[in-house]
Structure 1
Amino acid sequence: MSNIDDSISEIKAARRKLITKVAKVALVSLLIIAFAALLYFLILTFSSSFNRDSAVVDNAVELSEGIEHSSAEANENGENQALTANPAINPAERAAIQQQLSETRQRLQQARQNQALEAWRPEQLTRLDNALESAYTLYTAADYSATRNALLNIDTQLQQLNTDFETAYTSVYQQALAAFSAGEISRARLLDREALRINPRFTPALNLQPRLDVYEEVQALWLQSNAARAENNLERESELLTALLALDSAHAQGYERAQVVQFELIERAFLEALNTAVLALDNGDLDAATAALSEAVEAGGERVEVADLRARIASERAERELAQIEQQLALFQELDEWPTVAMVASNALQKYPAHTASDQALTQATAITQSQAQLQRYIERPQRLSDLAVLRNAEEAIANAVRYQSLSAKLAAAVTELNEQIEVANEPVPIILSSDNRTFVRVLGEGNVGIHSEYTFSLKPGTYQFEGRREGYRSKIITVVVEQAAAPIRVTLICDERV
């Protein structure tokens, strides 16, 4: 059974007890009256028989019992009539009304919990409570239509009460706020206190109260800040506005002016730092210019002016670094330290790929160091020059090195030393020619030897072709390798094959 049904059962039980109690009181009263009447009748008719008196008493008792039975029966019939007034009640409708009763009771309880509302209109809440009790009575009597109307009326009145309550303190607060804005502080204080009297928890009124408390002090700070503004003393104005907003953070004029002052201070700090950076750059102090530029960025952030000045500083720093690089390249070139020149140029090109001087220096250094190393390999093993192929390669290496020997004294010395070794390796080798004194011999590309039976002459190391001719005989060509290690070289050439 629901809570509402329990409540209804309790109400019915209480009504039965009350009706029973009333019936008993009535019965006792009737008995007393009947007994008195009986005594009076006995006195007047003392002569009547005892049997007659007994009959009267029995009739009185029966009468009293009939009255009590009739009263109880009437009470029972009344209750049954109330419960059966509408025998066709829909259970769903009954449940819906029960839900409405529960929700209305909950809303009234919540309204009671609002102490400010209860203190504002306690009599209206009492009337609504009584109306709810009446609605329960109507529900008990199974008058569901009247119950619904009663609940609707209660909800409407409760909603209107809440609306009136909210309007009461908000309208007073709006008047207080308007008075505060107009500088009518005394009136604003009275109105704000009235709003808080109606609703002590109304946040806007609570927030306005401390602003009203410090109004005079805030006004003094505002006037001082205006004087500082007139003197163009932004730092002092900023201090005063900071103190003002610490007291009244909702001060609109103070907040707006503080924003403007803060912007102007930032701009001033930015421009001062930027100007310092420009002067330092013009004076050639790149470190000071960079530090001042960092201060400008910290004050005003990244801007076009910052980017332009940073580019100028970077360009100036690059020019200085490239000038130092070129000085280093020139110094090591002069010292004939071409491996170091190559290292400096390579490092420079990693940072400045388009640096022409470093590119040219690297090209020269690479060629010189490679030529130096190549010549040095021949110089360290001069015996290899006896090999004609090695000798020719050595001569080619010298031809390549000659292009750069003017740039490197060490390379020029290596060229000279290797040339000397080549001259030694190129000293003529004795050639002993044996023939038949009829064959004409010549060395192709070198000259004629003539007709001899044996002839000695000299040729530089190399590979030569000897040709023999004789009238009526087939010509012969032989290849002769001339090496120092094979000296003297013996060659036999005879044309002995007839045509």
Structure 2
Amino acid sequence: MSAIEQEKQVGSNIPIASVDRDRAPDFDDESRAQASANLKRVAIVSVSVVLFFVLLTVIFVLPRFVQTDQSVADDGAEASAVVADDSTQVAEVHDPTEAAVWRRTNQARLEQALALVTHLKARNVTQWAAVEFEAAINAISVGEKAYTEQRYEAAQSAYAEAIESLQRIAARTEEVVSQAVDEGFLEIASRNSTAAAAAFEFALSIEHEHEQAKAGLARARTLDQVTALVNEAEGYEDLGNLDAALQRYGEAVALDGQAAGATSAIARIKQVQLEARFKRAMSDGFAALEAKKLTRAKSAFARAIKIRPRAQEALDVLEQVENQILANRISQHLRAAISSAQQEKWVESAAQYRAAVKLDADLDGAATSAERATDRAKLDRQLESMIDQPHRLGSNAVHQEAQTILGTARSITQPGPRLSQQINRLADAIKIARTPIAITLVSDNATEVTLYKVGPLGRFERHSVSIIPGRYVVVGRRNGFRDARVEFEVSPDHHDAMITVRCEEKLAFESDR
């Protein structure tokens, strides 16, 4: 048996009965069992194919690097010889140059075919295109046999057939991987973790870095745990325990971000919880409103709007509550202003009116009332100032001012008790302030006495004079003596006051004389 026939026999050992020729394997129970049974045969095939390529290289490739064109010339006569065995083909007749070209061409074709074989072996071709791959290997063997028999055209034809077949297989790689990945995701949807993992592992055995297959395999490996969590979450949801359901769904999504139904369930539960919180806030608001707890109602309706910012019902009722709260505050200020006015506390009354106007600038009469209260507060201060300082009333200017203030006070209709009392007190103070009071000035009959506001009084020992209440100054002068000056106040409460004024301190230059 020749080396080529031996290699063909090795190649023919590749198992082909267990592989579907037209599509990637289905991942049902029967195929999985069959695949498990064929694992040993696959290992044997892999070893056989490797040995086959080594033998091809040793037997057919290496001799070409040492064979020379001279050997072809020496054996030219043999090219036309007929082999006695009927199964042997007649060698083609070529001149040495043409034969060298044929050899180089066939060598290039063989290298191309072997590169495709290596490429497909790395992609687990025996698991998804074993029959076609076996046929291509056989075509390479036929080409090698023809080459050793110097039938170069036949060798080229066989190589071309092998290359075409291998290229067709390579072109199917993406389709086979895609089908396996699709099958894996279908199995995930069916919650069949074993079949899903097998499909993705098969895809990765062909294309090792396929991102979808990697992601799918990761999902398949957590599928059972994810399924258990989703089932548990669904049970909690049926029982109405939404918090527990949400937690389980969240754990499922943490394991598999695309867990079937978990993401949508989380959104659904959150929406239900959101609606429940909204209804609870609205209910709290209406209950507080019924109990006339406006501040509490406002807080509840504001909470509802925070949950659902565009809820028109909540927006409308919150506006009504805020308007009512505003109206109540204005009413409180107005009541306080009126109460203060009735008590003739005009400063407080004016402040309350201004607070009401600040809340509502268009409030009828409030601004006018604030101005009126301010005027009354000013009048009250003026009256008290005059009453508290009656000694000032002796001045003509102050007296005139007091009369004006008194006239303003008397012009007010329906004066309150405080204003009436102030009018009476100021009128009395004005009257008293213009009533002369007798006082006695005491001197030494040597001092010239002058009473400001009255005039010179001359020398005397005692002198009585009647003057209206107020502050006065009396001055004494005497030659050779220092002037005497006395300030005093005449009060309606003190009659017959005695004021002494004498010049008693001699000047120094007068004493030296």
**Structure (1/2) with the larger helix percentage:** 1
Q: Which has the larger radius of gyration?
A: 1
TM range (shorter): 0.3 to 0.5
TM-score for both structures, normalised by structure 2: 0.46
Higher relative contact order structure (alpha carbons within 8 Å, sequence separation ≥ 6): 2
